[in-house]
A and B are shown apart, each in its own frame.
Chain A
């Protein structure tokens, strides 16, 4: 069964995801060379669409597929068996609880384990997908993780257009070219607040590189 799932995951990312991402959508990628070439690493992106994860995974070479894990909310993706199978085995998510079950439980510990196993994690610090094509505030969980693993590179990625193609609450995919701007790798700054500020500045800097028409 495990082998079948692995084959299905490989086919999903080589065939379906690439047709959707490269043909139906199409990407304008800037600074592709700044993407991580090995684990451990954390890719941090803004989150507007289910397509975000597909695009980010399709940017990395296939030989890294087995070590890439998008971090996703456990309550949403594991709510029924079919979705759980798809999320865990095909997408390959690392499920994360939103709240601890008991006092003193560190909900971030699966992430520490994954990083120690040299994984490349995809992290959306906005939490949920939110309003399409708008940046919401970043949550500070990311800073805690980087504080624990200060040597791990954090690569900010700005995605634009995917929230137009497939926003929250819509099932109809409308083709648009999407922009993917990759920023310089960041490492731990010494405290959580300055780290999050630096990350937000980096994302805003990437947003200024693009010329985005309004979508109201």
Chain B
């Protein structure tokens, strides 16, 4: 069992998340009472789902590193399952899909034994070479390229990218930085989700010029820039508390998270628009599916990881 002793800053931050939740819940109750004829069902469902998600996340972070790794592995499993359920797949590939699922425990196992080299090549190299070979053994050539391409894209975004969150937890201790991997995960996940909300709010208040009208007609330049600004300010405020980042480096981290988060969001939007679904699933009432919630993280997790890995570890 990989045990963990959580730093006081991390615990304070988790407490801070609950403070925000209490605030959001009070606002929703207030809104409902002042405008009784308006429908706030979705907002209330959304906040309720946040309570559950943040509680599961907090438990996963507090209990032990093993629990945290299993938690991120389960997120990869649910997301990959949701993805494979909405995209067209071939009957002949049932066994290949099974192998794709098996890649999840294997990938998280490399992380648990801190084998960085294997963690970084297992899916991009070994699974990339293995899955097409498995398809060739079955022998169905119709739509081969589509099948192998869609499957690998799913593994890369939902297993490989997301597993970078877990590897943050395994980074070695450095002098003068006590929050550890848990601090980095919290910093990244909080800012990514906060950025989504900030872009939405800025867009609602000042949105005018559409940024990617064909993919996501509700997204605007005003929302994007407002989000980048607020997220970067928060990155600087939180950096000394949760990360080893200096102020200029915290600004860079804030820019990476806010810009990459936006790109991850619209990339999953493009996927959903291609397939013709509004939500990827119904697992999280008020949000949609799990893909709708972790879309931004598929871009921010690997980019933030390599940024901090290159400069600090």
Contact = CB atoms under 8 A, between A and B. Distances in A.
Interface of A: 26, 28, 132, 161, 164, 167, 170, 172, 174-178, 211, 213-216
Contacts of B84: 175-176
A211 B274 CA distance: 12
B86 to A, nearest CB: 6
A177 B81 contact: yes
Interface residues of B, number: 24
Contacts of A213: 86-89, 275
Nearest to A210: B277
A115 B98 CA distance: 41
A174 B88 contact: no
A215 B90 contact: yes
Interface in B111-160: 142
7 contacts: A28-B281, A28-B282, A161-B85, A172-B98, A177-B82, A177-B281, A214-B88
Contact of B91 (A26, A175, A176, A215): A215
Nearest to A27: B282
A211 B276 contact: yes
B144 to A, nearest CB: 13
B78 interface: yes
Given A26-B81, A174-B101, A216 B95 contact: no
B94 A174 contact: yes
B97 interface: yes
A153 B199 CA distance: 50
Interface in B70-94: 77-78, 81-82, 84-91, 94
A164 B89 contact: yes
A175 B87 contact: no
Given A164-B91, A170-B94, A175-B101, 4 more contacts: A28-B282, A167-B91, A213-B275, A215-B88
B283 interface: yes
A177 B277 contact: no
B291 to A, nearest CB: 11
B81 A216 contact: no
A175 B81 contact: yes
Interface in B248-287: 275-277, 281-283
Contacts of A172: 94-95, 98
